[in-house]
């Protein structure tokens, strides 16, 4: 929020590659980047499509997001987030109150089936991309088919306006996106990486509450992008910034060499 105008502004966060060194084998040809983009008062899908487009072409890769409809403008290969789907069923479980009957409720059943999908992901963490692909094709696909059949039946038995109804309709409406992670073994089952990336900014925002002007927000976006990208490449932020400042004092400094994925502080 901007201090002088008291208006809402929005910070978009984009992530690519791995979340850290432990996950890098899956993304050998991709840079580990966390990038914040400040938008002045807009949550429109055009913010994403313009950001991702180049002069040559529009973005045509996978884009993993939650169910916000505006993302549809940015890519025709949207990948859903099972963490968001699971969250809605947890909300439904809370809304139904204490289960005194001891019977398994529909919210319980949904959460159990989603848990099976996550167990499969834990099983394939150390597998190669090819092995991950075929394991998902057999095990994940079978579980998804079973879950979709249950959803189609359950959605006719529950009020749409109820918490459970909202969860069911979310899954059904997002199904093509939620099941798309099986198309490419580099894809994740959820976009928790972006959720984790936005937390440092949210936590920091509570310390200052307002930015004085738009330039201040843009500066924050740049600084957070540098720090979080350094962290995703296994660098200690303080040491990385110190290294950059030392190198920038050199008139012949190569800026490209200072990008986090090119820096190895162990060799400095």
The mean pLDDT value for 228-257 works out to: 92
pLDDT for 137 beyond 90: yes
C-alpha separations of 244 from 34, 236, 241, 260 in Å? 18, 12, 5, 10
3-state secondary structure of 245: helix
- Token pair in block for residue 262: 């090119």
> What is d(CA 243, CA 182) in angstroms, rounded to the nearest whole number?
41
Per-residue confidence (pLDDT) for residue 3, from 0 to 100: 46
Instruction: Please choose, from the candidates 49, 55, 91, the residue with its C-alpha nearest in 3D space to the C-alpha of residue 71.
Output: 49
Instruction: Please choose, from the candidates 79, 63, 85, the residue with its C-alpha nearest in 3D space to the C-alpha of residue 16.
Output: 63
C-alpha separations of 163 from 89, 96, 97 in Å? 8, 8, 12
Per-residue confidence (pLDDT) for residue 267, from 0 to 100: 64
User: What is the pairing mode between strands 78-79 and 33-39?
Assistant: unpaired
Q: Is 67 exposed, middle or buried (0-12, 13-18, 19+ CB in 10 A)?
A: middle
Per-residue confidence (pLDDT) for residue 49, from 0 to 100: 78
pLDDT for 250 beyond 80: yes
89-115 pLDDT, tens digit per residue, is 999 999 887 666 667 889 999 999 999
80 CB neighbour count, 10 Å cutoff: 25
> What is d(CA 121, CA 53) in angstroms, rounded to the nearest whole number?
31
- What is the three-state SS of 144-188? HHHHHHHHHHHCCCCCCCCHHHHHHHHHHHCHHHHCHHHHCCCCC
Per-residue confidence (pLDDT) for residue 268, from 0 to 100: 54
161-205 pLDDT, tens digit per residue, is 999 999 999 999 999 999 999 999 989 999 988 888 877 767 766
- Helix ranges restricted to H, the chain: 45-52, 82-95, 106-123, 129-135, 141-154, 163-173, 175-178, 192-208, 214-232, 237-248
Who wins on pLDDT, 244 or 216?
A: 244
CA 4 to chain centre: 31
> What is d(CA 241, CA 258) in angstroms, rounded to the nearest whole number?
10
């Amino acid at each position: 929020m901007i201090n002088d105008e008291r208006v809402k502004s929005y910070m978009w966060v984009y992530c690519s590659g791995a979340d850290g060194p432990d996950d890098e084998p899956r993304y050998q040809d991709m840079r580990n980047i966390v990038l914040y983009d400040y938008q002045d008062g807009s949550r429109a899908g055009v913010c994403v499509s313009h950001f991702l487009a180049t002069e040559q072409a529009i973005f045509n890769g996978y884009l993993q997001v939650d169910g916000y409809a505006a993302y549809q403008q940015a890519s025709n290969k949207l990948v859903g987030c099972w963490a968001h789907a699971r969250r809605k069923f947890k909300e439904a479980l809370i809304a139904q109150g204490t289960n005194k009957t001891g019977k398994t409720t529909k919210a319980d059943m949904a959460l159990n089936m989603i848990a099976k999908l996550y167990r499969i992901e834990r099983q394939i963490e150390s597998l190669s991309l090819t092995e991950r692909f075929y394991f998902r094709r057999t095990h994940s696909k079978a579980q998804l088919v079973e879950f979709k059949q249950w959803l189609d039946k359950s959605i006719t038995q529950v009020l749409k306006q109820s918490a459970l109804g909202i969860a069911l309709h979310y899954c059904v409406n997002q199904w093509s996106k939620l099941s798309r992670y099986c198309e490419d073994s580099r894809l994740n089952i959820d976009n928790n990486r972006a959720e984790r990336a936005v937390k440092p900014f949210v936590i920091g925002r509570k310390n200052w509450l307002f930015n004085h002007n738009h330039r201040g927000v843009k500066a924050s976006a740049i600084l957070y992008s540098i720090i979080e990208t350094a962290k995703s490449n296994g660098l200690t932020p303080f040491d990385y910034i110190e290294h950059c400042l030392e190198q920038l004092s050199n008139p012949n400094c190569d800026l490209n060499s200072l990008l986090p994925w090119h820096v190895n502080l162990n060799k400095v």
